[in-house]
Amino acid sequence: MGGLLKCTAAEMPLSPTALAAGRDGKTLFVACATANQVLRVDISSRKVVACFETPNVPTGLSLSADGSKLAVTCAGPESKVLIIETADGEVVASLAAGHTAMAPVFSPDGQTVLVCNRFNHDVSVLDLSAREVRRRLPVQREPVASALTRNGRYLLVANLLHNGAADADNVAAVVSVLDVAKGVLLKELRLPIGSGSLNDIALSPDGKYAFVSHLLSRYPLPATQLDRGWMNTNAGTLIDVETLEVINTVLLDSVDSGAANPWGVAWSSDSATLAVAHAGTHEVSVIDFPALRARLAKIPATPSAASSSNDSFASRCQADVPNDLSFLVGLRHRVRLPNTDRGPRAIAFVGSLLVTANYFSDTLSIISEKMVTASIALAEPRPMTLARKGEFYFHDASICFQGWQSCASCHPGDARMDALNWDLLNDGTGNPKNNKSLLLVHRTPPAMSLGVRETAEMAVRAGIRHILFTEQPAEVADSMDEYLKSLRPVPSPNLVNGKLSPAAERGQKIFQTAGCADCHPPGLFTDLNRYDVGTRGQLDRAADQLDTPTLLEIWRTAPYLHDGSAVTVRDVVTSRNREDRHGKTSNLAPQDIEDLCTYLNSL
Amino acid sequence: MGLSFLSLAAPEPGSLRAAIKDLSVTFGESYPGGPRFLERLDRIESRLHSPGVSPATSAEREYRQLESEALLANPLVSAHPILFVVRKQYRPDHHNTATFFPAAQHEYNDGSFTPGAALKQIDLAKGGKVTTLLETADGVLRDPEVDFDGAHILFSMRTNVTASYHIYEIRADGTELRQLTFATDVDDLDPFYLADGSIAFSSTREPKYCMCNRHVMANLFRMERDGSNIHQIGKSTLFEGHGSLMPDGRILYDRWEYVDRNFGDAQALWTANPDGTAHHAFWGNNTAAPGAVIDARAIPDSELAICVFGSCHDRPWGALALIDRRLGMDGATPVLQMWPSSATNLIRQSGWEIFDAFTRVKAKYEDPFPLGEKYFLAAKMTGQGDEMAIELLDRFGNELLIHAEAPGCFDPMPVAPRMRPPTIPSRRNYDNEPGHFYVQDVYQGIEMASVRRGTIKWLRVVESPEKRFWTRPAWGGQGQEAPAMNWHDFNNKRILGTVPVADDGSANFTVPPDKFVYFQLLDQDGLMVQSMRSGVMVQSGERSSCIGCHEDRRLAPSPVNNRGQTAFHKPPATLEGWHGPARDFNYLAEVQPVFDRHCVRCHDFNTTAGHVLNLAADRDLVFNASYNELWRKNYLTVVGAGPSETQKPYSWGAHASKLVAVLREQPRCRSTLSPEDWERIVTWIDLNAPYYPSYACAYPNNLAGRSPLNDAQLGRLEQLTGIPLRQTATHASNRGPKISFDRPELSPCLSGFGSSTDPLYREALALIRSGATLLTDTPEADAPGFHPNPLDQWREAKYEARRLREQKNRAALRVGQKVFDAELK
Residue pLDDT, tens place only, B370-418: 999 999 999 999 999 999 999 999 999 999 999 999 999 999 999 999 9
* pLDDT at position B666 over 90: no
Helix, strand, or coil (residue A45): coil
Confidence band, pLDDT 50/70/90 cuts, at residue B7: low
CA A146 vs. chain centroid, Å, equals 13
Helix axis angle for B658-665 and B675-686, nearest 10°, is 160
- CA dist B419 and B422 (Å) reads 9
Q: So what's the pLDDT on residue A3? A: 44
Which segments in chain A show pLDDT lower than 70?
Answer: 1-10, 305-310, 543
Q: How far is B461 from chain A (nearest CA, A)?
A: 21
- Compute φ and ψ for B116, nearest 5 degrees: 105, 115
Contact yes or no for B511/B535 (Cβ under 8 A): no
* pLDDT at position B551 over 90: no
Q: Which residues of B touch A401 (CB under 8 A)?
A: 248-249, 422, 424
CA B441 vs. chain centroid, Å, equals 28
Contact flag B557-A228 (C-beta cutoff 8 Å): yes
Q: So what's the pLDDT on residue A540? A: 83
Contact flag B557-A221 (C-beta cutoff 8 Å): yes
Contact flag B333-A310 (C-beta cutoff 8 Å): yes
- CA dist B685 and B517 (Å) reads 18
Q: How far is A262 from chain B (nearest CA, A)?
A: 17
- Ramachandran region, residue B229 (left: φ > 0; alpha: ψ -120 to 50; beta: rest): left
Q: So what's the pLDDT on residue B58? A: 84
Contact yes or no for A474/A460 (Cβ under 8 A): no
Q: So what's the pLDDT on residue B37? A: 97
- Does the N-terminal peptide bond of residue B483 adopt cis geometry, omega within 30 degrees of 0? yes
Contact flag A233-B556 (C-beta cutoff 8 Å): yes
- Does the N-terminal peptide bond of residue B407 adopt cis geometry, omega within 30 degrees of 0? yes
**Nearest-by-Cβ selection for B561 from A193, A311, A470:** A193
Contact flag A401-B560 (C-beta cutoff 8 Å): no
Least confident of A311-315, B220-224, B716-720: A311-315
* pLDDT at position B823 over 60: no
Query: ipTM for the complex?
Result: 0.93
Residue A587: Cβ within 10 Å count: 8
Query: What average pLDDT does this structure show over B571-585?
Result: 96
Contact yes or no for B285/B298 (Cβ under 8 A): no
Query: Which is nearest to B310 in space by CA: B292, B322, B328?
Result: B292
Q: So what's the pLDDT on residue A501? A: 96
Q: So what's the pLDDT on residue A382? A: 87
Q: So what's the pLDDT on residue B3? A: 41
Contact flag B547-A227 (C-beta cutoff 8 Å): no
DSSP element (H, E) containing B36: helix B34-48
CA B158 vs. chain centroid, Å, equals 24
Q: So what's the pLDDT on residue B494? A: 98
Q: So what's the pLDDT on residue A74? A: 97
DSSP element (H, E) containing B670: helix B667-672
- CA dist B212 and B204 (Å) reads 17
Contact yes or no for B405/B388 (Cβ under 8 A): no
| Nearest residue on chain B to A400, alpha-carbon basis | B422
Q: How far is A291 from chain B (nearest CA, A)?
A: 16
Helix axis angle for A590-600 and A502-513, nearest 10°, is 100
**Nearest-by-Cβ selection for B556 from A325, A329, A425:** A325
Q: So what's the pLDDT on residue B51? A: 58
| Nearest residue on chain A to B305, alpha-carbon basis | A256
Instruction: State the pTM of this model.
Output: 0.95
**Nearest-by-Cβ selection for B326 from A167, A254, A466:** A254
**Nearest-by-Cβ selection for B556 from A229, A311, A425:** A229
| Nearest residue on chain A to B326, alpha-carbon basis | A326
β-bridge mates for residue B803, sequence order: none
Confidence band, pLDDT 50/70/90 cuts, at residue B770: very high
Q: So what's the pLDDT on residue A199? A: 97
Chain pair A-B, CB pairs under 8 angstroms: 143
Contact flag A221-B565 (C-beta cutoff 8 Å): yes
Which residues numbered 447-476 in A keep a CB inside 8 Å of some CB on B? 465-466, 469-471
Q: So what's the pLDDT on residue A4? A: 43
- CA dist A401 and A256 (Å) reads 10
B29: which residues sit within 8 A by CB, 6+ positions away?
none
* pLDDT at position B56 over 60: no
Query: Which is nearest to A445 in space by CA: A478, A484, A472?
Result: A484
DSSP element (H, E) containing A266: strand A262-267
Query: What average pLDDT does this structure show over B658-677?
Result: 90
| Nearest residue on chain B to A323, alpha-carbon basis | B556
β-bridge mates for residue B85, sequence order: B119, B410
Contact flag A251-B324 (C-beta cutoff 8 Å): no
Q: So what's the pLDDT on residue A305? A: 63
> Is pLDDT larger for residue A308 or for residue B644?
B644
Contact flag A225-B278 (C-beta cutoff 8 Å): yes
Contact yes or no for B317/B90 (Cβ under 8 A): no
Query: Which is nearest to B712 in space by CA: B704, B703, B721?
Result: B703
Q: How far is B424 from chain A (nearest CA, A)?
A: 5
- Compute φ and ψ for A323, nearest 5 degrees: -115, 0
Q: So what's the pLDDT on residue A1? A: 36
* Burial letters A470-491, b for 16+ CB under 10 A, else e: bbbeeebbbbbbbbbebbeebb
